[in-house]
Amino acid sequence: MSPHILINNASLRFRLYKSSANLKESFISRLRRGQSKDTVEDFDVLKDINLTFSAGDRVGIIGLNGAGKSTLLKMITGIYQPLSGWVEVRGNIMPLIELTAGFDPELSGRENIYLSGAILGRTREQIAEYEQDVVEFSELGDFINVPIKYYSSGMLGRLAFSVGTMCKPEILLVDEVLSTGDAEFVAKATNRMMDLLSSSQIVVLVSHNLDHVQNLCNRAIILHQGQVVADGPPAAMIDYYMEEISKAGTDKNADAIGQRGGGKLFQTAPPSEQWTVPMKLQAVMDIIAGTRTVEQVAIEANVETATVETWLKNGTRGMRNGLRARPLSIEEQYQAQIDRLEKRVQALEEENARLRASSTDACAEAVVPLAQGVPSAISGSLPLA
Amino acid sequence: MAPTETVSSEKQPGELQTPAMPTPDLKANSPDLTASRASSATPSGPVLRYSAQNTFWQFMLVFVADLRRYQYALNSFVVNALAKKYRRSVLGFTWSLLGPLLTMAVLTVVFGTLFKRDMHQYALYILSGLLPWSFMSQSIINGSQALINNETMLRRSYLPKFFFPTVSTASEAVSLSLNLVCLFALALAIGAQLSWCIVALPLVIAVTYVFTLGAALIAAIATVYFRDLTHILTVLLGACFYLVPIVYPESMLPENIRGLVALNPFYHFICLFRSILYLRQFPTPLEWSSALLLAVLCLLAGLYLVKLRQNDIIFRL
């Protein structure tokens, strides 16, 4: 049976304790029960999450800080158990969440290889199989027998990465560890990581780097305030995400970003799953060609006309990339140059008018010839003008 | 956020390969599958299932499966704990043997003089009570710290909640076993006879271990909620030391309160050790059964507390 992850109506609630629980305080607060000082705050980290990941899924989870991305990964790992609903994981799971998690500073590198394997429920024989590979990959040499408290952070990073990525799991959970390691190690580590990503059947990747999600994933999920707000192809999801973020930025509500108070975000419907980037591109081209109107496209895609206009105005990410990739023709290059120069003339004329209004006549006369001289200079130098 | 805007992702994105999803079947079978991480051994790896609703019976199945799954982890943590304890000390592991011996020497001289006893026999008497006592009290005190001290580990990787109390209790049990070897050496040195009763000793240690593990689990979880408990336990157990006949003979107690000693749960386990090591006879069936009953009840209580609180602990650390 192929590996899968099922998350059914799972909710998770954190309790935040404002004061440390000790006997004296709980005794005192019990005495003052009349005042009932509320020191416990419930905080819904994940709300009614319904997700199915199956073989072949490369899922990128994006969202603001505190949206619940890492918590979702930890729930899949089993560190946090859902308050309601359930999570089922079938298959060998390897969490690359905090790589140094199972390390004991007092023990040597080699002992830590065994320790971190043991925490994942492996046997001695299983760990012995890959022990030598870890030692070689981490390039620690004789340091492998030294307690890791004497390691430099680079050495520790190398050991942690080597240990974490040594086994090929069926399900890989990655939380922002793509760039682990020092400069010399990065190329090797990236190769290893890509190898691991392609050999795993399910990958769940949490990253703030949208390029990683774009390049490595075939499905993206936007989490916001503990809820799944959108789920679909990465390019469309990233566009939607960026749109929403920039909307909040121009909303004079910049503090909404990065805080849990960002309730205004993701209010508009996410892009429909059927409307992939090529479809949007086709629609935009049709509109430009005049075969379809903005309103028709809006109805077909089940979005507002304003959204279609944004597509038209900005182009989708894919479209922009497409335009950039095609070299401009000579005529287009001339046209672009003329546009630029005309803009410059316009700016100069405006500047001229402003100066004329505010300065003496002598000053104004000195400016005028310049403004008149420029357009003739352009028309002389460009054959197309 | 209006709930209507939440995209349900039960459906597969169209462009991906869509293997036949067993979702409906799994839901229909969900009661059977709950806690099935133990039973299934598909070639593709274990099924892990986390949900808030579990019966105690299901929890016990998971507990047994986890014991097996984390067998190697338990072993290596115990070895590491013992190794770290004595690393860099000149006498190393001998300290865990010397410690009780020196304590015994002090107690023997002080109380032996006080009670005017035969020192040889009295030394054996004290040691046979002191060793199990220090195992139980140390395990409970260490156990109360077990979850709190390993907060980072619990937060970053999945480990069953009973893991760390079990590790601390097990490393104390290893110390106890080594101390007992030391006791035999001493017994032979002072000319005491050892009877063949000591073959029952592993069983006695096992029963005591079960009881102590239960108590350590309770202490561990209670301390997460009341951090002061470690200090209180230290004082209470210190007082308990004098409530159990360890340094004084049981016969010294007045007739009317001698029965009350049996109310102390620790007493029953010390009785087992004492009858084998000091009296050189098998414990009576009554002694066996009362200790066994206590041990099983204590472990069940501890595990039940773990089951009740295991999902909450991580948020209270």
pLDDT in tens, B161-186: 999 999 999 999 998 888 888 777 77
User: Residue A324: pLDDT above 60?
Assistant: no
pLDDT of residue A351: 86
Tens digits of residue pLDDT in A266-288: 766 666 555 555 667 777 777 77
Stretch B231-249: mean pLDDT, rounded? Answer: 89
User: Residue A85: pLDDT above 70?
Assistant: yes
Closest Cβ opposite residue A231 in set B7, B48, B158 = B7
User: Residue A65: pLDDT above 50?
Assistant: yes
A277 shares contact with chain B (CB less than 8 Å): no
Confidence of residue B290 (pLDDT cuts 50, 70, 90): very high
User: Residue A256: pLDDT above 50?
Assistant: no
Q: Which chain B residues are within 8 Å of A52, Cβ to Cβ? A: 9-10, 12, 21, 23
Highest mean pLDDT among A236-250, A298-312, B64-78: B64-78
Stretch A29-41: mean pLDDT, rounded? Answer: 59
ipTM: 0.73
Q: Cβ distance A75 to B45 under 8 Å? A: no
Tens digits of residue pLDDT in A128-142: 999 999 999 888 889
Count Cα atoms within 13 angstroms, Cβ side, for B93.
14
pLDDT of residue A3: 85
pLDDT of residue A318: 45
Q: Residue A55 corresponds to which tokens in the numbers above?
A: 């073989």
Q: Cβ distance B204 to B240 under 8 Å? A: no
Strand partners, A86: A8, B51
Tell me the C-alpha distance between B27 and B42, whole Å: 19
User: Residue A325: pLDDT above 70?
Assistant: no
Q: How far apart are the CA of B227 and the nearest CA of chain A, in angstroms?
A: 6
pLDDT of residue B23: 36
Pick the more confident residue, A123 or B41.
A123
Tell me the C-alpha distance between B317 and B315, whole Å: 6
A193 shares contact with chain B (CB less than 8 Å): no
B13 DSSP 8-state letter: P
> In sequence order, what are the residues at sequence separation of 6 or more whose Cβ sits closer than 8 angstroms to the Cβ of residue B52?
A81, A82, A83, A84, A85, A86, B311
Tell me if residue B150 falls in helix, strand or coil: coil
Residue in chain B lying closest to A123 (CA)? B72
Tell me the C-alpha distance between B280 and B284, whole Å: 12
The beta strand positions in A63-166, using DSSP E, are 84-90, 93-96
A136 shares contact with chain B (CB less than 8 Å): no
Stretch A41-45: mean pLDDT, rounded? Answer: 82
Stretch A206-213: mean pLDDT, rounded? Answer: 85
Strand partners, A90: A4, B47
Q: Which of A16-25, A118-127, A146-155, B257-266 has the lowest mean pLDDT?
A: A16-25
B301 shares contact with chain A (CB less than 8 Å): no
Q: Residue B136 corresponds to which tokens in the numbers above?
A: 């139980």
Tell me the C-alpha distance between A138 and A151, whole Å: 12
> What integer best gives the mean pLDDT of chain B?
79
Inter-chain residue contact B45 with A170, CB threshold 8 Å? yes
Q: Identify residue A264 by its one-letter amino acid code.
A: K
Q: Cβ distance A235 to A316 under 8 Å? A: yes
Residue in chain B lying closest to A57 (CA)? B16
Highest mean pLDDT among A92-101, A175-184, A369-378, B62-71: B62-71
User: Residue B31: pLDDT above 70?
Assistant: no
Q: Find tokens 């770290």 and name the residue.
A: B84
Tens digits of residue pLDDT in B126-162: 888 888 999 999 999 999 999 999 988 888 888 889 9
Sign of CA dihedral A236, A241, A247, A249: negative
Pick the more confident residue, A167 or A73.
A73
